Structure 1
Amino acid sequence: MDAQEVTTGEWSGRRVCVAGLGVSGRAAARVLAERGARVTVVDGGDDERRRTDAAELAGHGVDVRLGDGDTLPDGADLVVTSPGWRPDAPLFAAARAAGIEVFGEVELAWRLRGPGAAPWLALTGTNGKTTAVRMLAAILTAAGHDTLAVGNVGTPIVEAVLEKHDVLAVELSSYQLHWSSTVTPHAAAVLNIAPDHLDWHGSLDEYAAAKARIFAPGTIAVVNADDPGSAALGGPDARAFTLGVPAPGQVGVVEDLLVDRAFVPDPVTAAEELGRTSDVRPFAPHNVANALAAAALARAFGVPSEAVGAGLRAFVPDPHRIAHVATVDGVDYVDDSKATNPHAAVSSLAACASAVWIAGGLLKGADVDDLVASVAGRLRGAVLLGAERDRIAAALARHAPDVPVVDVPDTDTGAMDRVVTAAAGLARPGDTVLLAPAGASFDMFPNYGARGDAFAAAVRRLAGSR
């Protein structure tokens, strides 16, 4: 069955295998079952949470098979995968051998859209996606649109497309884009491209190719003129955003103003003010870039210029993104636990004149030499924790040999207190102690939020002891 038949045909009676019992997998299974499909969910895990989720889905007529994520159910004629499943998984090899199509929850959502469905404004990138998509939703709301931030954030997109909205702000990861083929946003942006998830994609070229899928034929493309990886993905008609003065076809910055020369009647001779850099919170150069990308997508949808600044002022930043925790003895303590790769960490460190850097975790195949070399002059010291801290230590020895480094090998619940105490010992008044780990958190914490919470709690205990 080809894509068009899947799009327009009935789901009733189809035998669909859903791979993964996570949030997107459960949502896909429910929606398909409600449309009469015979759904089997497979998942390699088998624990209390999964058994609870399986029992809930059973009430919708969904069969869940725990402890075996490799076997293709008999009679399956379609596989819908959760985004994190690797392309080389045995389940997908079996599907390919049987001539069965495999696609993801995002692709399913696109194919479930009915006549008059809300258009998508989509964005992807290595860093900044969640912040930018929430900024976009705030701008669209300020313009009076009924909207929702969905995709890799918030409401599962297979549920959102079945609701009535004017427009959807859609965050898409490289995983989700890899498993998509017909998704066609009204407008889309690539924020940046830097090495990440190379252990999943296999190479930077494959990672970038997955990101490039967001620019479907007919989609208004928006790229980052300051990021070579993003800029390389745009065609001759692409619009751009830049932290510099915008040329025709770009959205950028003039002194302290956000300015549009891309979505105005005559980009050569005209420009419109969209807001001020002071409207962007938290203020940092990479966050201004996020705001410009959001503004460009909103303007591509016809949002008036005054709504951009209003939306940015109304935007409430998510936790663990360059969040100021406390000032102790003249030192600022900042939680950027969301900086889970080197590209994000370098952006965060670039906003600090002098920093004690807390780093470490799972590097996911990424190299840290360029990161360390680029920020060496800003480092007062470094405190390292987590599974791959030795790789960061080696890069510091090569590129910042005079920077004092404290290694914290502990992984117990008190480890973050020892990290913060060590950082406080290195810091001087006017410095920033910055948690920007450059790695994922799963070696020590359930997620980056738990890591940031542990850091903030340790800082508050430090403050209480002074």
Structure 2
Amino acid sequence: MGSGQVTDWQGKHVTVAGLGVSGVPAAKALHGLGAKVTVVNDGDDARAREQAAELEALGVTVRLGDGTAPDSGSAAGLPEGTELIVTAPGWRPDHPLFAAADAAGVPVWGDVELAWRLRKPGAADWLAVTGTNGKTTTVQMLASILEAAGLRTAAVGNIGVSLLDAVLGDEEYDVLAVELSSYQLHWAPSLRAHSAAVLNLAPDHLDWHGSMEAYAKDKGRIYEGNRVACVYNTADKATEDLVREADVEEGCRAVGFTLGTPGPSQLGVVEGLLVDRAFVENRQKNAQELAEVADVKPAAPHNIANALAAAALARAYGVPASAVREGLRNFTPDAHRIAHVADVDGVAYVDDSKATNTHAAQASLAAYDSVVWIAGGLAKGATFDELVAGAAQRLRGAVLIGRDRALIREALARHAPEVPVVDLERTDTGAMLQAVQEARRLARPGDTVLLAPACASMDMFANYNKRGDAFAQAVRELGA
């Protein structure tokens, strides 16, 4: 499989594993290039049937409810004649289809690998971001900064916009701000970004990767072949270790970001200013002011770190300091990311429903001095001792909801026994109103009632957005 020109694809037998956000564009793109495309999909629900009908109308073969396990009737579980598999990010590496592909010598690419291979001559550079938390915000900040510099750009990748659409579409870009998940990086061996950042590393998706080591290794792939800068978090040694292990182009630099005073080749914070000591002349002595901390919205510590990472990638691309300031000022965070909902009776109510794991909740809790914490949901195998021990001094009280709330309750009993805890057994969606009412009872003027669940939402809500919406609605009812 060569450069991806039409001559390479004509008549090639390609199996696309999975429908959804990445599978459908991949199938359409490959079909348009002349490949013979078969889509296999484990699920067979109404949405899948709708997508299948759309593809079949184009002449793509679709097999629903068929993960092509070895008993599917095709040789070794592979659709007959398969020369390449392009997989959706969610398919686990231990799926029988990939074992069959490995045995048959058939390569497996992800949607990111396909997009990388299909770039046109002179295509836009990629500035890439990964990490356990903060990816989407950082990529959106980066795109805002690049736009402020007058560059044609878009935030793409793991944030709902297909990279394939950006690569194959008619719109021409100078540079792309690319969010990449560990899943996507696992299946993207050829990716070579202009510059890349790993924001942080904490245990997540270990059921998919199999171990923390495998998870970190996949995250570290983002640095492979970087040309200008590998951006890492000085507060998270694991990210610096990944830079040390990466095989980069000659002259590529390691650039750290810190919430403290930056050293040479770092970006950091000095007296309320974001400053650059990496992309300046004589960085041993000089620093360039980029923006004020107040330009970052919200100015929580982990969000300032996101802004510094975005600024580092933009500066690596040659963006002037004035565009960093303008881009950060123009940026508006997505809903449910430390969103201030309202003040009621001197108490602030903040929605961080996006804090679906302990690492994100830890960052959220660290942003406030006195917190009534609403937490709980699906723990996804997480433990809460480290989180609770670190936040104990900040907790005014806790209200626990969701299926795995007992795990948090037990951690609170061990590490914060003086903190009053309300344990809500009800798991209907109306439980959020009761949770907010209980939090109001525990709060004092000057406190923050913080929804930072440290858990996934699907035991009670369709997704974290719906959970955050329920919280905001409950708060509005308090103030009515």
Q: Give the TM-score of the pair, scaled to structure 2.
A: 0.93
For 1:221 and 1:94, locate their aligned partners in 2 and report how far apart those are by CA, in whole Å.
Answer: 36
The residue that corresponds to 1:186 in the other structure is: 194
Seen in structure 2, the aligned counterparts of structure 1 residues 197 and 449 have a Cα distance that, compared at 3 Å, is: same
Residue 265 of structure 1, CA deviation: 2.5
1:328 pairs, out of 333, 344, 354, with: 344
For 1:254 and 1:146, locate their aligned partners in 2 and report how far apart those are by CA, in whole Å.
Answer: 31
CA offsets 1:101-148 (integer angstroms, 9 cap, x no match):
112101111011121000000011111100000000000000000000
For 2:459 and 2:5, locate their aligned partners in 1 and report how far apart those are by CA, in whole Å.
Answer: 41
For 1:358 and 1:203, locate their aligned partners in 2 and report how far apart those are by CA, in whole Å.
Answer: 30
CA offsets 1:420-445 (integer angstroms, 9 cap, x no match):
12212221221111010111112222
For 1:310 and 1:350, locate their aligned partners in 2 and report how far apart those are by CA, in whole Å.
Answer: 27
The residue that corresponds to 1:381 in the other structure is: 397
For 1:316 and 1:154, locate their aligned partners in 2 and report how far apart those are by CA, in whole Å.
Answer: 17
2:363 pairs, out of 347, 357, 363, with: 347
For 2:7 and 2:312, locate their aligned partners in 1 and report how far apart those are by CA, in whole Å.
Answer: 36
Q: Which amino acid aligns with 1:153?
A: I
Structure 1 position 234 matched with structure 2 position 243: yes
The residue that corresponds to 2:427 in the other structure is: 411
The residue that corresponds to 2:412 in the other structure is: 396
The residue that corresponds to 1:75 in the other structure is: 81
Structure 1 position 116 matched with structure 2 position 87: no
Q: Which amino acid aligns with 1:55?
A: A
2:231 pairs, out of 205, 222, 238, with: 222
Q: Does 339-348 or 225-234 show the bigger shift?
A: 225-234
For 1:398 and 1:112, locate their aligned partners in 2 and report how far apart those are by CA, in whole Å.
Answer: 54
| Structure 2 gap segments, 5+ residues each | 70-77, 246-252
CA offsets 1:321-375 (integer angstroms, 9 cap, x no match):
0001111122111000111111110111011111111111222222221111000
Contact 2:68 2:79 in 1 (8 A): no
Contact 2:141 2:307 in 1 (8 A): yes
For 1:7 and 1:241, locate their aligned partners in 2 and report how far apart those are by CA, in whole Å.
Answer: 39
1:22 pairs, out of 14, 20, 23, with: 20
1:436 pairs, out of 452, 459, 466, with: 452
| Structure 1 gap segments, 5+ residues each | none
Q: CA RMSD, aligned part only?
A: 1.5
3-state SS of 1:75 partner: coil
Residue 66 of structure 1, CA deviation: 1.1
Contact 1:359 1:384 in 2 (8 A): yes
Seen in structure 2, the aligned counterparts of structure 1 residues 8 and 369 have a Cα distance that, compared at 3 Å, is: farther
The residue that corresponds to 2:73 in the other structure is: none
The residue that corresponds to 1:294 in the other structure is: 310
Contact 1:70 1:89 in 2 (8 A): no
Matched residue count: 462
The residue that corresponds to 2:34 in the other structure is: 36
3-state SS of 1:141 partner: helix
1:199 pairs, out of 196, 204, 207, with: 207
Residue 9 of structure 1, CA deviation: 5.9
Seen in structure 2, the aligned counterparts of structure 1 residues 155 and 78 have a Cα distance that, compared at 3 Å, is: same
For 1:70 and 1:387, locate their aligned partners in 2 and report how far apart those are by CA, in whole Å.
Answer: 34
Residue 419 of structure 1, CA deviation: 1.5
CA offsets 1:149-175 (integer angstroms, 9 cap, x no match):
001114100111123101000001111
Q: Which amino acid aligns with 1:54?
A: A
Q: Which amino acid aligns with 2:448?
A: T
The residue that corresponds to 1:87 in the other structure is: 93
For 1:123 and 1:256, locate their aligned partners in 2 and report how far apart those are by CA, in whole Å.
Answer: 25
1:151-170 correspondence runs (5 A): 151-163=157-169, 164-170=172-178
CA offsets 1:361-409 (integer angstroms, 9 cap, x no match):
2222222211110001111111111222111111111111111111222
3-state SS of 1:235 partner: helix
Q: Which amino acid aligns with 1:223?
A: Y
Contact 2:42 2:65 in 1 (8 A): yes
2:104 pairs, out of 98, 110, 135, with: 98
Q: Which amino acid aligns with 1:431?
A: D
The residue that corresponds to 1:47 in the other structure is: 45
Contact 1:198 1:364 in 2 (8 A): no
For 1:364 and 1:264, locate their aligned partners in 2 and report how far apart those are by CA, in whole Å.
Answer: 44
1:133 pairs, out of 129, 133, 139, with: 139
Q: Which amino acid aligns with 2:106?
A: I
The residue that corresponds to 1:149 in the other structure is: 155
For 1:359 and 1:109, locate their aligned partners in 2 and report how far apart those are by CA, in whole Å.
Answer: 39
Contact 1:198 1:366 in 2 (8 A): no
Residue 177 of structure 1, CA deviation: 0.8
Structure 1 position 12 matched with structure 2 position 10: yes
3-state SS of 2:16 partner: strand
Q: Does 244-253 or 90-99 show the bigger shift?
A: 90-99
Structure 1 position 455 matched with structure 2 position 461: no
Identity percentage of aligned residues: 64
For 2:382 and 2:104, locate their aligned partners in 1 and report how far apart those are by CA, in whole Å.
Answer: 35
3-state SS of 1:176 partner: helix
3-state SS of 1:64 partner: strand
Residue 449 of structure 1, CA deviation: 0.9
2:286 pairs, out of 255, 260, 270, with: 270
Q: Does 164-173 or 74-83 show the bigger shift?
A: 74-83
Residue 5 of structure 1, CA deviation: 6.2
1:246-325 correspondence runs (5 A): 246-325=262-341
